[in-house]
Structure 1
Amino acid sequence: MESITYNLILCDDEKNITEGVLTYSMQDSKSASATDEITKLAEKNTEVSTFEIKGEITLPEITGSTAVEVSGMSYVSMMGPPISSILISQKQGILSMQFNIIDSPGTHIGGGLSYAKEPMKPAKMWSVLGIV
């Protein structure tokens, strides 16, 4: 699949704002059946597909100027865009990012990112908005 690139704006709890870039592509599809409380009450099953995603994120003021390789999973409903995507990396510190597409064409994402320079050190949390 083709890669997707989002220009990111991140804000921490001290109202510091920084920018970055996320580029990723979906790699593989695996089908799974998932249910939640609403579908249990409605006695229906929801089909969800999982896609492996790989890419890189560049956050100059957080991780330095070198792009960080990331990988993870995207959970996609049969009824529309991805429900949620999760990316992680342990290449340059410990980075974890979760995001959702927040509009129908998929041009905007919103989520959160945590980053710690070293294991066992407190991670800094960031709110993330992205646009294609």
Structure 2
Amino acid sequence: MSSYQKNLQCFVQLLQKQPQLFNDSQHQELLDLIEPLPDDIETLADAISGWSKKYDDIRAAYLHILKNYNSEPESEPNDQRLFGTTNLSSTTSQPRSTKELLKNNILQSQPTNQTPPKKSSTDN
């Protein structure tokens, strides 16, 4: 697995495990950042890494996950920890866009504010 792929997977793990580090504007910044980029692991990983440098708490948590990831033995040939059942690499049976997977993980890490509004006693 390339270092770029590891970097992206660690960032996705950060999104999944510590979504409270990201506010709504940061989610939007990430989406706006990656939207015009090509679906290229190196380009996406470099962009995410550069973006994370603007936020000390996000950067520290990201580097901590990356450090732990790099210290684990690579005994899992089909690493599926971060993208559910789909990892970052494409297969012929299931071609997936790295960019789309990344965007989906950004969107899924946003808190759901889907609470229905409370009815007042005058709403009948």
* Normalised TM-score (structure 1): 0.25
Q: Which has the higher strand share?
A: 1
Q: Which has the higher helix share?
A: 2
* Normalised TM-score (structure 2): 0.26
